[in-house]
Amino acid sequence: MAEVFIYPATSLILSDLVARFGHKPLGTALSIRERIQTAGLDSPPLQMTPDDAKKGLRWAAVEVPSGVRGRMSLFGPLIDQAEAAIIVRNPEFAFGCMGCARTDELVEFLVKQKKIPILELDYPADEEEGINFVHSVKNFLTRLGGVS
């Protein structure tokens, strides 16, 4: 079972397909859950603390805005952990503020720097593309040593 980083990290489709084919999806929910269940942090709504911006320094330089560094404290450990990655190109719903956009760029850059197997896809626009989408994900995950 490989640990597969998914981008968008909140994607229901990618998360489901990775788990369905026998691997562990690495999405933001895992980082959030870790914060929620660790005693001592108390900042609503996302349990982000000033320390997170410091932790983000591991993945982003000090002159990078703290918003990006804070986000990187969520994504960074997942990227470090990842043994493979599935990336959806230009997902519409990941559109957000400049902090989100820069973080997304940095996440994609770091994943590609890591030299791990990466599958890049587009969201399916019709049924045929849907079949190809699932088929490509399955083939990719099977090559990693999945269950089916």
Partner 1 sequence: MKEVIPPLYAGTVTKYVFIESYKATPDDIAARAYEVSGGVMIKETCFGLQITGKEEEVERVISHVRELDPAHIYVKDRGFPPGDPRRCRANLGGARPGYFGHEHEMGFIRRIAIGLEKLDSPSDIPASESEQKNTEGLSVKRLMELIIQEA
Binding residues for partner 1, rule: CB under 8 A, are 8, 10-13, 15-17, 19, 25, 27-33, 35-39, 42-47, 92-94, 122-136, 138
User: Least distance from C-beta 7 to partner 1, angstroms?
Assistant: 12
DSSP state of 37: T
Burial class (CB in 10 A: 0-12, 13-18, 19+), 4: buried
CB-nearer residue toward partner 1: 29 or 62: 29
User: Least distance from C-beta 56 to partner 1, angstroms?
Assistant: 18
User: Least distance from C-beta 87 to partner 1, angstroms?
Assistant: 15
CB 55 within 8 A of CB 89: no
Q: How far apart are the C-alpha atoms of 108 and 58, rounded to whole Å?
A: 16
User: Least distance from C-beta 111 to partner 1, angstroms?
Assistant: 19
CB-nearer residue toward partner 1: 37 or 113: 37
CB-nearer residue toward partner 1: 36 or 62: 36
117: preceding bond cis by omega (within 30 degrees): no
Q: How far apart are the C-alpha atoms of 17 and 47, rounded to whole Å?
A: 28
CB 147 within 8 A of CB 21: yes
CB-nearer residue toward partner 1: 35 or 54: 35
Q: How far apart are the C-alpha atoms of 37 and 31, rounded to whole Å?
A: 10
User: Least distance from C-beta 10 to partner 1, angstroms?
Assistant: 5
CB-nearer residue toward partner 1: 62 or 130: 130
